[in-house]
Chains A and B, each alone.
Chain A
């Protein structure tokens, strides 16, 4: 006798959500309009599980939703105070590990890290400010790289390889010594084949990769997260368009 096949459903908080075999928990959640906080996930790009913001509790175990396959019957806790508190602590660490002086940053209002901090109700950074020193690369005529705000999400690395068919960026070193490098002999952006129309030049969730001379195209007050909350699903399109340069 055949047993009925298990329906492809997972439960996230109080919602039953369908999934297709091969999808991750994040894929299924996004398709069902369920927000799981994330900073290093981008639809269509291979997930890597770097930021840990998407950590959910799957049958009692913490797992990153962006890299964990959905499996029938999973009981997942997502939007709960304990996890949101842990996500806030991760966000605070991302802030203090770089120099995030939002009032002086071109990306303010368009920045996913900042919007995440708003979403999680971050009032201060709690940990001692590291004030690190990292190299600025202004060599490229139209693209700027200010590593002091890089959160090492690796989206630019993956977008360059998978979508642009190039290999402009890489992450070198580990742990606190990890840094974003440019794959050229000089290590400078000007010697790479990066162009402003590349996804890698537009995907940066923070103000680390910026298109020059377009930082203030949209005035403060009229930017993405002045009008949207980061918990709205499908903002990526606006995100990419918002960061796009005219000449691309």
Chain B
């Protein structure tokens, strides 16, 4: 029997809530079966910090700060197939609701005007990534190969999508079920 090399899978969460990652784990024991064919690279599921060359990159969340842009570009450069996963990656989602307001208004509302603030000030530690003017969908920053809608996409959606890629088939997203909520 010939052994196909395992597909390398990296995942990350940008301006997301980790709900997509949680939903991925909802595939329960099927993940064991999946691990026969895929191997995790950098991901919140592993402790790998350095992104290697990967076959598949799953991106959760939209792009809200300079670090998100950097991480996203790194994933694009290292992953053969890049996938925007979930509502926030696809159209900005709930974090993009801040796009109605200027960045200044958002910061003042949160850090100066919130009730019961002790020593209110807008954080300015140089370590903090700078916020972008708006929250952007992933495909407005890099080229995206596939989109998995849903808030979050169901475990079945993840499982079906990855199984199809493992089998070398064109994924049939949306032919079975489609949900944006």
Contacts and interface: CB of A to CB of B under 8 A. Distances in A.
Given A108-B181, A123-B149, A131-B134, A103 B175 contact: no
Contacts of B173: 123
Main DSSP-derived SS at the B contact region:
mixed
Contacts of A129: 91-92, 96, 136-137, 140
B84 interface: yes
A41 interface: no
Contact of A103 (B84, B136, B151): B151
A248 interface: no
A227 interface: no
Given A103-B87, A124-B90, A125-B90, A133 B139 contact: no
B94 A104 contact: yes
A103 B180 contact: yes
Contacts of B139: 124
B117 interface: no
Contact of B181 (A95, A109, A122, A128): A109
B99 A102 contact: no
26 contacts: A99-B100, A100-B91, A101-B93, A101-B96, A101-B97, A102-B151, A103-B181, A105-B181, A114-B180, A117-B180, A121-B175, A121-B178, A122-B178, A123-B146, A123-B174, A124-B84, A124-B90, A124-B137, A124-B139, A124-B144, A124-B147, A125-B90, A125-B91, A128-B140, A129-B96, A220-B181
Interface of B: 84, 87, 90-94, 96-97, 99-100, 134, 136-137, 139-140, 144, 146-149, 151, 173-175, 178-181
A95 B100 CA distance: 16
B137 A125 contact: yes
Nearest to B90: A124
B128 to A, nearest CB: 24
Contacts of B178: 117-118, 121-123
A95 B137 CA distance: 13
A228 B151 CA distance: 20
Given A103-B87, A123-B173, A133 B100 contact: yes
A135 to B, nearest CB: 11
A114 B149 CA distance: 12
A117 B139 CA distance: 19
A101 B91 contact: yes
A105 B91 CA distance: 14
A220 B90 CA distance: 21
Contacts of A128: 140
A133 B84 CA distance: 26
Interface in A110-149: 114, 117-118, 121-125, 128-129, 131, 133
Contacts of B175: 121
Given A101-B87, A108-B180, A131-B99, 10 more contacts: A101-B96, A102-B87, A104-B97, A123-B174, A124-B84, A124-B147, A125-B137, A129-B140, A131-B100, A131-B134
B138 to A, nearest CB: 9
B145 to A, nearest CB: 11
Interface string A171-202: 00000000000000000000000000000000
A107 to B, nearest CB: 10
A169 to B, nearest CB: 23
Nearest to A119: B178
6 nearest A-B pairs in the assembled complex, by CB-CB distance = A103-B151, A102-B180, A124-B147, A123-B147, A131-B99, A108-B181
A241 to B, nearest CB: 21
Nearest to A130: B99
Contacts of B147: 123-124
A117 B181 CA distance: 13
